[in-house]
Amino acid sequence: MADITGGHNEKPGFTKIENMDTDDISQDGSLMNNSQSVLEKIANLYAEQLMSDIILVVGTEQYPAHRVILCASSEVFQVMLMNPEWNECRKRVIELVEEPCCTAVFPQFLKYLYVGQIKITLQTVMPMLALADKYNVKDLVELCVDYMMKHIAKAATQGYLVSWLQYTIAFSPSHVDLTESLKRFLKWNLEIVSESKDFVELDLSIMVLLLQQNDVVVISEYQLFKILQSWLLHRRELLENDDTLTLEEKDSCFQSLIEQTVIHIRFAMMSPRELAHLLLFPLLEYGRNFIIERLAIGMSYHSGHEERVEEVRKSRDGKLQFTPRLYSNDTWSVSIEVHKFDQIEKYKNYVTCFFSLRNIAETDDDHAITWEVEFFPRGVKYNRAKMVWGEDVPEFSLNTVRLRATCKHSNIGEERFKIAVLITGVQNNINHILTVHERTEYFSSKVRVLNIDNLIPFDELALSSIKLSPHLIGPERNNLSIQVIIAPMGPYTCRDVPPFDLK
């Protein structure tokens, strides 16, 4: 038998590549790339259904395929079709059980395995991601996740964000970055999401966690109650259309839903006038006694009934009742707009005054406190200072985007305030709250100033990046918009919230 491993038994006309001088190859040969033609031949196998050796049955449809392509693209298919311990290894016809939404996109999924191209839309990306996750097609997973990250704002307005979020949470701990981005959008843009068609489908467990968060951005607690009421009344409608339940069971289920959610509404954060107006809301038709009991907590807080407040504060679900969220109405916040950012001079600052609440409860005569709010979007400069003794302080500057809050109150002890900066951004031509910075600090006669730096990466707003930064908005993409919230954090407030995470 001829020796095919080396020596003089090589076939005529063939030269062993390892015996050739690589310099000769680089000098005498050229690397020719015809990979596109090869890809087209593989794609033709799918298009013409040539030489298929397996049939995938999905729903009522049959898809001829090739084991080698499936195994090369998917670790799951590789185990299923190559491991003798699996029954599918010996079958030519294999039935795959998929959800209806995944069945609808399966042809595109299978085609991707052959051609490496796919058209993704808001409607198809989640079932496509579900298939990619199920069969561990990693490159397709990356494509889907990248698409979703770039279309979160559009998904929120078109009614897909809730389904995306609930899928990624269920698939945890995968897609962590996407899940966190969806959570942030939900918390910081709740009113946008609440107007979408899929908000009513938000899972109860997620709603309960959402209502416990301190950094929910909403006009007011009153508005948050209205949002919750819409969600609850839709659930009531679903229960009423459920023929498997008796009337008593429907009432019991809905009462339970009210108690599990309304208990996390912070009625003390509403004004007495708002609390009184809640008595006219349709939700009270179903849970009047429970809701009125919660309303009474808010009235007790505004009336200065400290014993009742302490009692609620120590209860299991009461510790957050007297803590403000990020309310965006004029009582709690002030806006600063920077127009034509690309034309403003370096170190320019924007100054405004704001009169915030000193106490949330309407029991204190000294109810307002004055703040000076300064915004430095293009760095901060300190001029040279001449000292009476010691060395002079040289001029220096900081490349930072800064918010400075100065308490101007002349008579203040040591009081705690929450200061938050909401920065508007744009994605898919939709303005929304993109970034939130939040600090809780003590202010006193000696400590009056708080600086919050790096609100936005300084380099992101460099002139070379105009129209590229997601924080620049407006028709010309050269405006900045921030909103500053200042809220008192009195003795009954609580910063410890449960993580927004389902385990």
265-324 tens-digit pLDDT:
999 999 999 999 999 999 999 999 999 999 999 999 999 899 999 999 999 889 999 999
End-to-end CA distance of the chain: 65
- Topology of the domain covering 326-383+394-488: 2.60.210
pLDDT of residue 5: 39
Among 216, 269, 261, smallest CA distance to 236 is for 261
pTM score, whole prediction: 0.88
Contact 371, 353 (CB under 8 A): yes
For 232, the token pair is 């609850």
Contact 128, 147 (CB under 8 A): no
3-state secondary structure of 348: coil
Q: Is 299 exposed, middle or buried (0-12, 13-18, 19+ CB in 10 A)?
A: middle
Query: What are the extents of the domains in the chain?
Result: 37-150, 203-322, 326-383+394-488
The answer to whether 37-150 and 326-383+394-488 have equal CATH topology is no
**Distance from CA of residue 1 to its chain's centroid?**
68
405-434 tens-digit pLDDT:
999 987 788 899 999 999 999 999 999 999
Contact 310, 318 (CB under 8 A): no
Class of 37-150 in CATH: alpha beta
Q: Which residues, listed in sequence order, are joined to residue 432 by a DSSP beta bridge?
A: 425
Lookup result for tokens 């030519």: 92
Mark the ranges of the chain whose per-residue pLDDT is less than 50.
1-22, 24-25
Lookup result for tokens 């062993």: 16
Peptide bond into 173 cis (omega under 30): yes
Distance CA 160, CA 168 (A): 13
pLDDT of residue 85: 81
Distance CA 441, CA 358 (A): 14
